[in-house]
Amino acid sequence: MAIKVLIVDDSGFFRHRIEEILREDKRVEVVGSAVNGKEAVEKARDLRPDVITMDVEMPQLNGIDAVRIIMRECPTNVLMLSSLTHEGARITLEAMEAGAADYLPKDIRAWMDKSQSIRQQLIERILALGTSRRFRSGSVFEHRYPRSRASGSSTMVFRPESAPSPRAGQERTAAADARRTVAPRPERESARAPSQSPALRPRAAEEKDPPTSQASRVRFPDCRLVVIGTSTGGPAALQQILTQIPAEFPYPILLVQHMPKTFTQVFAERLNQQCKIAVKEAEDGDRLKPGTALLAPGGLQMMVDPRQTDRVRILEGDVKLTYKPSVDVTYASAARAYGSRVLALILTGMGADGCDGARLLKREGATVWAQNRASCTIYGMPQAVVNAGLADEILDLEDIGPLLAQQRRRG
């Protein structure tokens, strides 16, 4: 069955261009369009689309207010169209907090030039949104946004910037290390068996949800660094986790979220205002400090400095790497610098970034926690780790923050 899409934009050009792209794919059906937020709410109720593309600035009712009403009355996947400016980032993150699931840059030049990249990104997002489990019965999102007349699904994919890099040698080495890494040796896995989830065996993608770990029985590892990687749905997940952590949290935290440069700066500022711990967009040479989370800048790579392991290096993105920032790169550098003293979390996201880095971490004896399917916006990145047999625990999003909040420094 085709994914039903409602297009909302006060610009005739953008309505026509989006519809033109979507009609090229037989997996998608455009069921209607709206020119303002008020009409969008009405058509969302009547047409029950799987996905809505939503402009921000519109007459009568803007995109953010329209999202709030839609999420209250007929929760549906919403893909925001946003400019890559500081203000555009701020507004888009407000829309995400209101319940929107994803965004796409509204770069008029790329859309007018009929960029193949724009076409690919739009189709990719629509398909992911239309097949997500976000609002299915029993999901955490369904409880947050209970359905009245319509059902939907959701995702968020922040596509990073991709500037070429003249000085990314260390970054390429980290990524190559992660790719070359083989699965953990049997004796290493056997030694860690008591703390592992029963779901560690590789699982086929079509299998049912793996069992959720009971937070009360999870053993927190003897770590010195926490590294969290995420993409689709990550901003909401990170906000939920980080706002529960006390200011005296004993370990430094590294955050990798697929997101462009302008967005990571605004996102870090918002998290810093909302959290008890300090959160900042990482800069080259920043120190790793207890109770401080460093967010990888969009379009760049963040690594633990191999020569000064209490600092991070920020390197320009390598055009050969898909994700900038990349979870694999940060995981790999943490494995080399801290070995078994790393707790790595892989959260909601589309794709498999983080799986190769998790292999390297496991080879060093580190601990890996994966978010469970039921609480993910998109169960892609965690599923890749679980299917590879690399997850020590499979946890519901609601359990992760409290588990971190309970920790005290050891020895």
Ordered structural domains, the chain, with CATH = 3-144 (3.40.50.2300), 169-405 (3.40.50.180)
Orientation of helix 327-338 relative to helix 169-180, angle to 10°: 80
Cα angle 386, 263, 331; round to 5 = 35
Q: Are strands 312-316 and 300-304 parallel, antiparallel or unpaired?
A: antiparallel
CB neighbour list of residue 112: distance below 8 Å, 6 or more residues apart: none
Long-range contacts of 27-33 (CB under 8 A, 24+ apart): 27/2, 27/3, 27/127, 28/2, 28/3, 28/123, 28/126, 28/127, 28/130, 29/2, 29/3, 29/4, 29/5, 30/5, 30/6, 31/4, 31/5, 31/6, 32/6, 32/7, 33/6, 33/7, 33/8, 33/9
pLDDT-flagged residues of the chain (< 50): 149-172, 179-208, 210-213, 411
Of 33, 165, 197, 231, which residue is the catalytic one?
Answer: 231
- Count of beta carbons in the 10 Å neighbourhood of residue 346: 31
C-alpha 157/C-alpha 377 separation (Å) is 10
pLDDT of amino acid 176: 55
Dihedral sign, Cα of residue 338, residue 282, residue 238, residue 242: positive
Q: Which residue has the tokens 């509204």?
A: 106
Amino acid of residue 118? I
DSSP H stretches of helix in 282-380:
327-338, 355-363
Residue 381 near residue 353 (C-beta atoms within 8 A): yes
Q: How far apart are CA 266 and CA 81, in angstroms?
A: 17
What tens digit of pLDDT does each residue of 58-108 get? 888 999 999 999 999 999 989 998 877 788 888 888 998 888 988 888 877
Write down the catalytic residue from 139, 258, 286, 333. Answer: 258
Active site residue 258: yes
Backbone φ and ψ of 39, nearest 5°? -65, -35
Given this model, what pLDDT does residue 219 score? Answer: 84
Kindly write down the DSSP assignment for every residue of 45-58, as one continuous string.
HHH--SEEEEESS-
Residues 242/215, Cβ–Cβ less than 8 Å: no
Fill in the DSSP letter of residue 90. Answer: H
**What DSSP character marks residue 193?**
G
Neighbours of 49 (CB within 10 A): 26
pLDDT of residue 138: 52
CA distances from 73 to 46, 57, 136, 149, 162 (A): 12, 21, 15, 7, 38
Task: Read off the pLDDT of residues 29-68 as tens digits, 9 standing for 90 and up.
Answer: 999 999 999 999 999 999 999 999 999 888 889 999 999 9
- pLDDT for the residue numbered 146: 60
Distinct helix (H) and strand (E) counts, the chain: 15, 14
Burial of 411 (0-12, 13-18, 19+ CB in 10 A): exposed
| CA-based nearest residue to 365, from 201, 188, 200, 202 | 188
Helix axes 86-98, 261-274, angle to 10 degrees: 60
Active site residue 231: yes
Residue 353 known to be catalytic = yes
Rounded alpha-carbon distances, angstroms, from residue 237 to 22, 347, 389 = 29, 8, 23
Can you tell me the distance from the alpha carbon of 387 to that of 400, in angstroms, rounded to the nearest whole number? 20
Task: Find out whether 354 and 330 touch, Cβ atoms under 8 Å.
Answer: no
Q: What is the DSSP string of 196-210?
A: S-GGGS---TTSPPP
**Whole-number Å distance between alpha carbons of 359 and 362:** 5
